[in-house]
């Protein structure tokens, strides 16, 4: 659509903040006023609007998109989305290791994944079992419940970020580590893609896979920016 405003700014709205275009608060696709919990987050969204040219391109406003998603989709369905993410705890990527014949990959998984399995046991009270191959390993109910409780305790805005971190890395443990700012989003993605990156080293790069990884990297770091602004 054509740009229909001159300037974007922010204003307080109770305990929250709104983004305004020429003094009018913007609304989500569901026609709800977009309110965010921090001034820093509102400022970034206003900057995205101010950066538009003669035409407005929503795809160039990733932080606004995440905020819209939170208000329109996550807030009304927090429990359902949290339930879905919590299921990753019973099938966490970090728990499934390569066969012993893949010695180099096994070593990489031990060196790079074991510290986060240990972290989950120590910091999240979630001792997880590790297995070889892809056959499902049944995790202790206590560990799964501990992870689920952490997911359900998030705010809607945090849950939006956690959804990105977890689904793109394939690991709830890594997602929670990024959420707690124990691990940069880009590093979590590398850990989640460890097997794929190892295969690329052995057999050469697949350009479609490389494009997909770059997209994931972009979206993970945008979600991290969203989270940090939320907490600023």
CATH number of the domain residue 154 falls in: 1.10.3580.10
217 occurs within a structural domain: yes
The parent domain of residue 207 ranges over: 78-231
- Torsion over CA: 69, 72, 16, 53 (sign): positive
Half-sphere exposure of residue 124: CA atoms within 13 angstroms, side-chain side = 30
Question: From the centroid of its chain, how far is CA 103?
Answer: 31
- What's the pLDDT tens digit per position in 140-171? 999 999 999 999 999 999 999 999 999 999 99
- What's the pLDDT tens digit per position in 99-147? 999 999 999 999 999 999 999 999 999 999 999 988 899 999 999 999 9
24-43 mean pLDDT: 96
56 occurs within a structural domain: yes
What CA dihedral angle connects 188, 193, 198 and 202, to 10 degrees? Answer: -140
User: How far is it, in rounded angstroms, from Cα 111 to Cα 54?
Assistant: 51
71 occurs within a structural domain: no
68 occurs within a structural domain: no
Both 57 and 82 in one domain: the answer is no
Residue 190 pLDDT greater than 90, yes or no: yes
Phi, psi of 8 (to 5 degrees): -110, 140
Evaluate whether 51 touches 57 at the Cβ level (below 8 Å).
no
66 occurs within a structural domain: no
Task: Label each residue of the chain as H, E or C.
Answer: CECCCCCEEEEEECCEEEEEECCEECECCCCCECEECCHHHHHHHHHHHHCCCCECCHHHCHHHHHHHHHHHHHCCCHHHHHHHHHHHHHHCHHHEECCCCCHHHHHHHHHHHHHHHHHHHHHCCCCCCCEECCCCCCCCHHHHHHHHHHHHCCCHHHHHHHHHHHHHHCCHHHHHHHHCCCCCHHHHHHHHCHHHHHHHHHHCCCHHHHHHHHHHHHHHHHHHHHHHHHHC
39 occurs within a structural domain: yes
Question: From the centroid of its chain, how far is CA 8?
Answer: 27
Residue that the structure tokens 């949290």 belong to? 82
Q: Comparing 78-82, 133-137, 144-148, 221-225, which segment has the lowest mean pLDDT? A: 133-137
What's the domain count of the chain?
2
């Amino acid at each position: 659509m054509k740009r229909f405003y001159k300037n974007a700014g922010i204003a307080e709205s109770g305990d929250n903040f709104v983004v305004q275009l020429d003094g009018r608060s913007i609304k989500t696709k569901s026609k709800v006023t977009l309110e965010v919990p921090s001034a820093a987050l509102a400022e970034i969204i206003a900057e995205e609007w101010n950066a538009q040219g003669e035409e407005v391109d929503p795809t160039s406003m990733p932080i606004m998109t995440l905020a819209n998603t939170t208000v329109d989709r996550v807030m009304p369905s927090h429990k359902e989305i949290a339930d879905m993410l919590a299921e990753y705890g019973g099938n966490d990527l970090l728990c499934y290791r390569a066969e012993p014949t893949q010695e180099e990959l096994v070593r990489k998984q031990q060196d790079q994944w074991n510290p986060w399995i240990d972290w989950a046991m120590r910091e999240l009270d979630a001792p997880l079992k590790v297995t070889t191959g892809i056959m499902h390993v049944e995790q202790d109910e206590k560990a799964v419940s501990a992870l689920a409780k952490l997911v359900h305790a998030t705010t809607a805005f945090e849950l939006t970020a956690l959804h990105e971190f977890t689904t793109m890395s394939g690991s709830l443990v890594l997602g929670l580590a990024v959420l707690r700012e124990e691990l940069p989003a880009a590093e979590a993605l590398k850990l989640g893609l460890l097997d794929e990156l190892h295969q690329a080293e052995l057999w050469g790069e697949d350009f479609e896979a490389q494009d997909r990884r770059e997209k994931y990297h972009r979206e993970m770091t945008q979600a991290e920016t969203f989270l940090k602004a939320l907490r600023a």
